[in-house]
Structure 1
Amino acid sequence: MSDRRQTQDDITRGTDWLAGAGLRPTRQRVTLAALLVGDGENRHVTAESLHAAAQRSGTGVSLATVYNTLRAFCDAGLMQEVTVDGSKSYFDTRTDDHPHFYWEDTATLTDAPSGELQITRLPRAPEGAEIASVDVVIRLRRTSSRPD
């Protein structure tokens, strides 16, 4: 996340983002929303990285508050949670269906080009169940570059 100073435009954009989902604009929510969408860019964050950005901005928000706020943002449809493995979750401000690249060496999540992914068929869900979503996370590792 960028360490640039938050502007009034960032705060306004964050407040509008919350209002669009019907969430009450508490001080903590507005602060975190401004960090997430204030510059109009999409973000992939962990609770820890958002907490660190909030601390750098001078905001006294606890890690527990960040976790609870991210959950509230997901419940309101403002973000989606992307689980990379059983213990690591990222939160994405882009909520449409799209694949992700997970860079193993830097533990970062980025969007992958949707137009290049082809899923031609999914298996039928077992009786009494329905498919709720399909998450595509493509794990990447850097290759060594060798001159020919």
Structure 2
Amino acid sequence: MAQTETERGTEWLARGGLRPTRQRVALAALLVGDGENRHVTAESLYAASVSGEEKVSLATVYNTLRAFCEAGLMQEVVVDGSKSYFDTRMDDHPHFYWEDSASLTDAPAEQLEILRLPDAPDGMEIAKVDVVIRLRRR
């Protein structure tokens, strides 16, 4: 029997140790219900949820996305310091940011080569390196 979007969303929440409230399950189903990874903004996820049965406010979407990140289910990718995208793919990988459409997609990690990073300041360690490659038409 095929797994439903709601079942996938509920299992995803359980992996993060989150209580499956109706609103969380509805948003999780939109994010991972088809088994694919995706990049969303709070606004785009809210727009996708408007047609669903479970109504959620934009503030709830923001709070829920933060909870998903804190639970290790998603990662936040910040573009331009003020625009955040949320990615369901959790391994380290680079991104393309398409300036024309303001969208974010995965870039081929096997083509990225970082030869050296600067030393971290005393008492600090490098936790993560985010690579966002901005694209625009010529």
Could you tell me the TM-score, scaled by structure 1's length? Answer: 0.89
> How many residue pairs get matched?
137
State the identity as a percent. 77
1:56 aligned counterpart, secondary structure: coil
> Comparing 15-24 with 91-100, which one deviates more in the overlay?
15-24
Once residues 26 and 110 of structure 1 are traced to their aligned partners in structure 2, the CA distance between those partners, rounded to angstroms, is 29
Considering only CA atoms, is the larger Rg found in Structure 1 or Structure 2?
1
Give ranges in structure 1 of 5+ residues lacking alignment: 1-6, 144-148
Identify unmatched segments of 5+ residues in structure 2.
none
What letter is aligned with 2:24?
R
Aligned-pair distance for 1:8? Answer: 7.0
Give me the TM-score of the superposition, normalised by structure 2: 0.96
Q: In the alignment, which of 25, 29, 36 is matched to residue 30 of structure 1?
A: 25
The letter of the residue matching 2:45 is L
In the alignment, what sits opposite 1:60? 55
- Preserved contact between residue 22 and residue 54 of structure 2 (Cα < 8 Å): no
Residue 22 (structure 1) shift: 1.0
Aligned Cα RMSD in Å?
1.3
> Secondary structure of the equivalent of 2:59?
helix
Q: Deviations over 1:64-108 (max 9, x none)?
A: 100000000000000000001111000000010000000000000
Partner letter of residue 71 of structure 2? Answer: A
Q: Are residues 1:75 and 2:45 paired? A: no
Question: Paired residue for 1:128?
Answer: 123
Within a 5 Å distance, the mapping from 1:67-106 to structure 2 comes to: 67-106=62-101
Task: Name the CA distance, whole Å, in 2 between partners of 1:103 and 1:25.
Answer: 34
Residue 39 of structure 2 is aligned to residue 44 of structure 1 = yes
What is the CA–CA distance in structure 1 between the aligned matches of 2:75 and 2:23, rounded to whole Å? 19
The runs of at least 4 aligned residues of structure 1 exceeding 4 Å deviation read none
What CA distance in whole angstroms lies between the structure 1 residues aligned with 2:111 and 2:40?
Answer: 24
* C-alpha displacement of 1:57: 2.1
- Deviations, residues 94-147 of structure 1 (Å, cap 9, x unaligned): 01000000000000000000000000111100112111110000000123xxxx
CA positional deviation for 1:56: 2.2
